[in-house]
Amino acid sequence: MEIYVLWIVVFLALSFDFINGFHDTANAIATSVSTRALKPRVAILLAAVMNFVGAITFTGVAKMIGSGIADPGDLEFGIEIVMAALLAAIAWNLLTWWFGIPSSSSHALIGALAGAVIAGAGIDKINASGFTDILKALLLSPLIAFSIGFILMWILKRVFAKASPHQVNKGFRFGQVITAMFQSFSHGTNDAQKAMGIIVFALVAAGVQDTTDVPLWVKISAATAMALGTSVGGWKIIKTMGTKIFKIEPINGFAADLGSAAVILSATMIHLPVSTTHVITSSILGVGSAKRFSAVKWGVAGRIVIAWVITIPITALLAMIFFWIIKALFL
């Protein structure tokens, strides 16, 4: 019976990855689409390819997800805990996607996994040090991205202050193609790892493997699911990110993409999961502030921040509810 439950969990994890593809990848290409540096179909195809390449390149973040929050081998209801976490994260992602809110898939998954562990095994089973490291990365990375976006835009404003705006935008429109590729690659290196990590968590919990090493089939299937999700696109979130925060020009999009991609890839290199949504949005806010503080629509930014703040507690509570339902029905 447990092997069937395990395959259901794998399916749910890949479904989460697919949804992540059209939910979060919209963030990665929003600026290049809104400035018309890339046509939407081309941007989505490019993002799908670069996401796949990024996803199969690294595994450090997957190992952190697989063991950083809790020890999967030490949980009595490990498979059921993962199932509850995935159901909660998927439900929240679909809800926020429907309303066009760039909420964080990372926060959703991590909050849900923590909530499910607490409901299924008790708060003492949470790995305090690993969970704290993950929360630090999630909290600090947007601040770093905001700062880098601000600094990059401040420098570019001064370097090109006397240049023709038309020529500047023409040049940076090409530059955005490069940064969109870099952005999508970095997104794959971090976000696809989370689905890999949750599958590994389930495999260890089910006793199928003893380590948090990521099998090749897990890497390929997660990378493929994210690439397919990316190919669907997320137009509502593209509209929010690319047009509703402030009027983005190619030079702004270049700075925002370059800064956020650098932060995401740096986090991947040190094996820490970060929210690509938070990082990209914060970079856009930093760039907008450097361009002209009053140009940023802070009301929209405020609503996005509220979604960030409530995601972890809401998904934790949802995961607890899902676990209790699963326990009542099947355990």
Higher pLDDT, 258 or 242: 258
Q: What are phi and psi of 70, to 5 degrees?
A: -160, 160
Instruction: Give the integer Cα–Cα distance in Å for 264 and 303.
Output: 23
Instruction: Give the integer Cα–Cα distance in Å for 260 and 264.
Output: 6
Q: Which residues pair with 126 in a beta bridge?
A: 70
In this prediction, residues 273-279 reach a mean pLDDT of: 86
Say if residue 198's pLDDT is above 80. Answer: yes
State residue 235's pLDDT score.
55
Say if residue 170's pLDDT is above 60. Answer: yes
Instruction: Note whether 280 and 28 are within 8 A (CB).
Output: yes
State residue 302's pLDDT score.
77
Total number of domains in the chain: 1
Say if residue 20's pLDDT is above 90. Answer: no
Sequence-distant (6+) residues with CB within 8 A of 214 are 59, 62, 63, 66, 196, 197, 200
Q: What digits encode the pLDDT tens for the residues 76-112?
A: 888 999 999 999 999 998 888 787 676 788 889 999 9
The amino acid at residue 72 is P
In this prediction, residues 311-324 reach a mean pLDDT of: 96
State residue 66's pLDDT score.
83
The pTM of the full predicted model, rounded to 2 decimals, is: 0.87
Q: Which two tokens stand for residue 225?
A: 């699911």
CB atoms within 10 A of CB 105: 27
Please state, rounded to an integer, the average pLDDT across all residues of the chain.
86
| Segments in 206-245 forming alpha helices (H) | 216-232, 235-239
For 84, the domain range is 2-330
Instruction: Give the integer Cα–Cα distance in Å for 95 and 279.
Output: 21
Q: What secondary structure letter does DSSP report for 165?
A: H
- Residue 115 — very low, low, confident or very high, per pLDDT cuts 50/70/90? very high
Percentage of residues in the chain having pLDDT higher than 70: 90
The segment with the largest mean pLDDT, out of 163-167, 222-226, 316-320, is: 316-320
